[in-house]
Chain A
Amino acid sequence: DIQMTQSPSSLSASVGDRVTITCRASQGISNYLAWYQQKPGKAPKLLIYEASTLQSGVPSRFSGSGSGTDFTLTISSLQPEDVATYYCQRYNNSPRTFGQGTTVEIK
C-alpha cells in the first residue's frame, strides 16, 4: 500500500506567519491529494482537493501545490482560528490513506 508521510508533526508559529506543511507519498499519486483541517472534537473539514483546488468557502490564505509524490499545504498568514491538526490524504484508489497529521499552534 502507498504510505503518506507528513512533516513536521507539529509546529508553532506567530499570527501572520507563513506556514508550510509537506506530505510525501511513497509512490506517485498524480494529483489525487486532499488536505483536511480538524479542530478538537470536530469532524475533519475538506480544505483542498486535487492537490491545489480550494474547496468552496475556504479562506484564500490556504493553498496547495504539488503532484506525483511531493505536496505542500501553505497558510500564507496564520490566523488564531487556524489552530488545528491538518491531514493529507491520497484518494487515487483504496485504501484512502491519511498522513499522520500536523498540529499547528500559535506561538
Chain B
Amino acid sequence: QVQLVQSGGGVVQPGKSLRLSCAASGFTFSSSGMHWVRQPPGKGLEWVAVISFDGSNTYHADSVMGRFTISRDNSKSTLYLQMNSLRPEDTAVYFCARGPVRWAFDVWGQGTMVSVSS
C-alpha cells in the first residue's frame, strides 16, 4: 500500500546535527514533490520545506533557511531532512508528506520526534 515510513530523530544538544529519513513505497516516488512539516509539542502544524520530483528545486521556510536542507534519493525512494545548528525551538514532531505541485498532502509519514536540549 501507499506509505511513508520515517526514521531518525531523537534527543540532540543545541548546535548539533541530525538527519531524518522518509522511505516511500506503493507509489512512484520519483514523480512526486515531497515536503517536511513539523509540530512543536502542543502546538499547530508548521510547513518546513519542499523538494520537486527530481530534486532540482527546493524551498525552505524562513525559520530553517540556512540550517536545514531537504534532499531526496529517487533510486532509494527516500526523502531526507538534514538539520544543522539545531536550536531548542526546533523541538517538534517532524512529518514527511507527499504533495505534488498545486496538490494537497495526501500521504503522511507517521512522524518522528526531535528534541533539542542540553
Binding site for B on A (CB under 8 A): 32, 34, 36, 38, 43-46, 49-50, 55, 85, 87, 89, 91-101
Contact = CB atoms under 8 A, between A and B. Distances in A.
A91 B102 contact: yes
A91 B59 contact: no
Contact of A96 (B47, B106, B109, B111): B47
Q: Is the interface of B mostly helix, strand, loop or mixed?
A: loop
Contacts of B35: 96
Interface residues of B, number: 20
Scoring A32, A85, A95, A99 by chain B CB atoms within 10 A of each residue's CB, the highest score goes to A95
Contacts of A98: 37, 44-47
Contacts of A99: 44
B44 A46 contact: no
Contacts of B44: 85, 87, 98-101
21 contacts: A38-B45, A43-B109, A43-B111, A46-B106, A49-B104, A49-B106, A87-B44, A87-B45, A89-B105, A91-B99, A94-B47, A94-B59, A95-B47, A95-B61, A96-B47, A96-B50, A96-B99, A98-B45, A98-B46, A100-B44, A101-B45
Interface in B57-109: 59, 61, 95, 99, 102-106, 108-109
Contacts, number: 60
B32 interface: no
A94 B102 CA distance: 9
Interface of B: 35, 37, 44-47, 50, 59, 61, 95, 99, 102-106, 108-111
Given A91-B102, A97-B47, 14 more contacts: A38-B45, A43-B111, A44-B37, A44-B45, A46-B106, A49-B103, A49-B104, A89-B104, A91-B103, A95-B61, A96-B50, A96-B105, A98-B45, A101-B44
